[in-house]
Structure 1
Amino acid sequence: MKMLTKMIASFLIPLLLLSSVGTAGASGTIPSPSTHAQSAALIDVTSGRILYSKSGDQELRIASLTKIMTAIVAIEHGKLQDKVKVTASSFAKEGSSLYLKLGEEMTLENMLYGLMLRSGNDAASAIAEHVGGSEEGFVLLMNKKAEEIGLTRSHFMNPHGLDAEGHYSTANDMARLTAYALHNPVFKRIVATENKSAPNPNESWEYSWHNKNKMLRLYEGADGVKTGYTKKAFRCLVSSATRDGQQLAAVTLNDGDDWNDHARMLDFGFKNFPLREIAEKEQPVANTTVVTGRGFQYPLAESEIDSISKKLILTTNRSQNESQNESKANDLSFGLAGRIEMQLNGKFIGSIPVYHKGSYIPPQPEMQEAAFAGIGEITTWAAAWRAVISHLLSP
């Protein structure tokens, strides 16, 4: 098993050191969408490729877009059916609110709906205290998550997004965060919801929340994500939409015409950078005895298709004096043979494993390795390798 661990690590490390996220190179030859935003970004959710960026690395206030991070941290660290109690420090929080009562209890899941649909600041603080032990403890989790998924120009000071010194992000970072979060089925379901009802323990009527995100009603295929506003951040918006199996997410910071700008940005992405299939799962690799372990899709402009190249990297044979148990990893019940690296104009955009024909191939992960240089890959690959090892060690 020691040798097996080394082999897994040797395959993973190159992926973790390389980030494929970058602004679409072909955008220089395609007219960019016009926006009124101080900063903007458009990302393909499957691949993590930024298709358009306007001052995308400028550090700015992000208002309630903060709650995208709050929600994904709470989902990953909390239990949806846990009861969250409204404490004195979360009660009657300034700004947008669910108007929760002091001492009121609500499931974490319902409170997340209130957080994302109505942007409740009271819900944000209550969630933070419940999941993180305190608001400060939760903020530590937020910044840790930012570091894990490669948000290098973001820092959080609170879970709600009220203006605070040292609380900022960028359009590019918010796009990456949103792409990461949209791979989580709970987050994806919540932000796509237009109306939600929840029990109200203090009144005879239920809570009824209508999503503030007008894009859900204005744009065909819209399925998220979050609005934001403060007097210093001005209007901020993250939206997402899915068409023909491709999901895009748009971000604008300080934009007085965000609904129209987002429609133009999303139209730009769907029209010019459709998601194209580069490889299929279990596709034979020419002149070899290996097959691909998963499919690979990437958003490409028409002019970029011929610029895709593939490089097959096979693992080297291990030492002859392996133990019997270690050499079992070499037989066809395991079968990992190496990987294929995908490149666009000579730049790495992603990688897929290859296996010996007839060997066990683990389930295909939901998140492509191309998308994120941090925890996204680790989580996905850990699940895949658990499946491999479980199969290998089964009687």
Structure 2
Amino acid sequence: MIKKLAAVLAIIVGITNIGGIFAPESAYAAAAPEIIAEAGILIDGTTGQILYTKNENATLEPASTTKMITCLLAIENLEMDHVVTIDDETPFTEGSRIYLLEDEQITVENLLYALMLESANDAAVALAKEISGSTEAFAVKMNERAKELGATSTNFVNPNGLHTEGHLSTVHDLAMIAKGCMENETFRTLCSTYYHYIPATNKQDERHMYNTNRLLYDEKTLVPVNGVSVPAKYEGAVGIKTGYTSHAGGCLVAGAERDGTFLIAVVMKSTDAGRFGDSIALFDYGFASYHTVKAADITDDMGRASVKRGAVADVGLELAESAYVTLPIEASSSVLSTKLVLEDERTAPIKKGDELGRLEIYEGESNLLTTVSVLAKEEVGEGTLLSVFGIENHTAYIIYIVAGVIVTLMLALTIAYIVLKRRQIRRRRARRAKRAMEIAKQRLEREKDITKRDWRF
């Protein structure tokens, strides 16, 4: 019996070892990543939580990753079918380009594909001038929009990332910019596209655009990932933007999504191949260690809240957006708890969408992870005078009607009483007058009778 058990155990151990031999390639991701880049960061692209960082605040040249903000501003300020006429300066833009010609007419959509796939510097200049009139004026817009997206140490000088004194950013800022950009569906489509065809224009033959981001397609090129060479193509890759100059080195802002978890990796001052390997190392680490969990859905019923001096006594509540949190891979949503915190006083009028409080998301009972605004679900107008006592307009109107009927009845009764009393007084006066007339008549008859008697005697 013991020999049989030993044999079974030996078989199990053997199978286990064989399983280890054929472990998936991403097994090396369990350890903290080792990256070649001088600076790198990994964030949850949904929540913004930082999962890994290396020199996150070092200011470095961003190269063509600059074009993310150029692309976003073009989407926000120009129609996709708008036709741009190229000026006499843009064709002389240096670096990667699609060789735009003076007076060439091309749509914004095609310029954007050239910008994000071919990393065309001349397309960036054309878009910048179409929006702001000059690249200098456009740089002001770039910096303003970057700050709105969470950048704190970025200074853009041109729209394409070519080496210019003072044109600097950080991996942290580029990650925040990428997060904001990827929330725009048009941007997301552009940066994740591998191939785009531009038909012939009035000046050029047809053009074929191919994305420079090897994570999207390249199964042949091997890149270094934690000391192991693996294909550059990455499962779940969704963009975002490459960058390379001799001054900036290899830069890459990359996005990848698996099983509802969307990660953004940024590396700066790596090598040409190293930027792709670095991003894979960061992604493997992130997906092996964390996942994104929906803590509250925008459709969740948030109940109702009382309202002072309103047409109604309460207002419906809804979330401004769904709430997500980043948790360790082994943790589930069961560790989360929520707390609804409302303003102390809610006084009418209230408009639909007014912020009335927040929903706090906790890990356990005390570790606050995030908050999401709680809004008024509908409009609440000012109430009547009775709203001071918490009486809704509907009830107040009934009270007013009943009170009006009672007042009307009382008024009618009062008038009827007055009319009746006046009638009684007139009747009484009439009876008195009649009685007086009768008395006067009797007196006159007596006097006549007396007169007759004196005359006869």
Aligned counterpart for 1:247 among listed residues 251, 262, 267: 262
Q: Is the 8 A contact 1:110 1:198 kept in 2?
A: yes
Query: 1:291: how far off?
Result: 6.5
Q: Is the 8 A contact 1:283 1:291 kept in 2?
A: no
- 2:358 maps to 1:339: yes
Q: Is the 8 A contact 2:83 2:105 kept in 1?
A: yes
Cα distance in 2 for residues equivalent to 1:253 and 1:291: 44
Q: Is the 8 A contact 2:304 2:317 kept in 1?
A: no
Name the structure 2 match of 1:268.
Answer: 285
Query: 1:73: how far off?
Result: 1.2
Name the structure 2 match of 1:113.
Answer: 113
Q: Is the 8 A contact 2:346 2:356 kept in 1?
A: no
Name the structure 1 match of 2:167.
Answer: 167
Q: Deviations over 1:68-95 (max 9, x none)?
A: 1111111112222111122122113111
Q: Deviations over 1:252-271 (max 9, x none)?
A: 10112121221111111122
List runs of 5+ in structure 2 lacking aligned partners.
1-29, 218-232, 307-315, 383-457
Distance 1:302 1:241, change over 3 A: closer
- 2:297 maps to 1:297: no
SS across alignment from 2:358: strand
Distance 1:392 1:84, change over 3 A: farther
Query: 1:231: how far off?
Result: 1.0
Distance 1:85 1:265, change over 3 A: same
Q: Is the 8 A contact 1:229 1:235 kept in 2?
A: yes
Query: What amino acid is aligned across from residue 116 of structure 1 in structure 2?
Result: M
Name the structure 1 match of 2:21.
Answer: none
Query: 1:279: how far off?
Result: 2.4
Q: Is the 8 A contact 2:349 2:381 kept in 1?
A: no
Name the structure 2 match of 1:64.
Answer: 64
Q: Which moves more between the two structures, 200-209 or 103-112?
A: 200-209
Query: 1:286: how far off?
Result: 10
Q: Is the 8 A contact 2:288 2:329 kept in 1?
A: no
Q: Deviations over 1:235-286 (max 9, x none)?
A: 1111111111222111110112121221111111122111112223454679
Higher relative contact order (CA 8 A, sep 6+): 1
Instruction: Please list, as runs of the form range in 1=range in 2, the aligned pairs for 1:177-326 lying within 5 A after superposition.
Output: 177-202=177-202, 205-217=205-217, 218-256=233-271, 257-283=274-300, 293=319, 294-302=321-329, 310-318=338-346, 326=348
Q: Deviations over 1:366-394 (max 9, x none)?
A: xxxxxxxxxxxxxxxxxxxxxx66x989x
Cα distance in 2 for residues equivalent to 1:177 and 1:344: 28
Q: Deviations over 1:336-391 (max 9, x none)?
A: 75221235696754322446xxx84xxxxxxxxxxxxxxxxxxxxxxxxxxx66x9
Name the structure 1 match of 2:76.
Answer: 76
- RMSD, aligned CA: 2.9
Larger Rg belongs to: 2
Query: What amino acid is aligned across from residue 358 of structure 2 in structure 1?
Result: R
Query: What amino acid is aligned across from residue 277 of structure 2 in structure 1?
Result: N
Distance 1:80 1:343, change over 3 A: same
Cα distance in 1 for residues equivalent to 2:302 and 2:124: 50
Q: Which moves more between the two structures, 283-292 or 108-117?
A: 283-292
SS across alignment from 1:100: coil
Aligned counterpart for 2:371 among listed residues 339, 351, 355: 351
Query: What amino acid is aligned across from residue 258 of structure 1 in structure 2?
Result: R
Cα distance in 2 for residues equivalent to 1:135 and 1:334: 38
Distance 1:34 1:149, change over 3 A: same
- Among all aligned residue pairs of Structure 1 and Structure 2, give the percentage whose two residues are the same amino acid: 34
SS across alignment from 1:94: coil
Q: Which moves more between the two structures, 97-106 or 308-317?
A: 308-317
List runs of 5+ in structure 1 lacking aligned partners.
1-29, 320-325, 361-387
TM-score (norm 2): 0.65
Instruction: Please list, as runs of the form range in 1=range in 2, the aligned pairs for 1:116-127 lying within 5 A after superposition.
Output: 116-127=116-127
Q: Is the 8 A contact 2:294 2:325 kept in 1?
A: yes
SS across alignment from 2:136: helix
Query: 1:131: how far off?
Result: 0.9
Query: What amino acid is aligned across from residue 299 of structure 1 in structure 2?
Result: T
Q: Is the 8 A contact 1:40 1:171 kept in 2?
A: yes
Distance 1:191 1:288, change over 3 A: same
Distance 1:344 1:87, change over 3 A: farther
Cα distance in 1 for residues equivalent to 2:241 and 2:354: 44
Q: Is the 8 A contact 1:63 1:230 kept in 2?
A: yes
TM-score (norm 1): 0.74
Query: 1:308: how far off?
Result: 5.2
Name the structure 2 match of 1:27.
Answer: none
Name the structure 2 match of 1:379.
Answer: none
Cα distance in 1 for residues equivalent to 2:355 and 2:142: 36
Distance 1:130 1:337, change over 3 A: closer
Query: What amino acid is aligned across from residue 240 of structure 2 in structure 1?
Result: V
Q: Is the 8 A contact 1:292 1:352 kept in 2?
A: no
Cα distance in 2 for residues equivalent to 1:288 and 1:317: 10
SS across alignment from 1:181: helix
Query: What amino acid is aligned across from residue 264 of structure 1 in structure 2?
Result: A
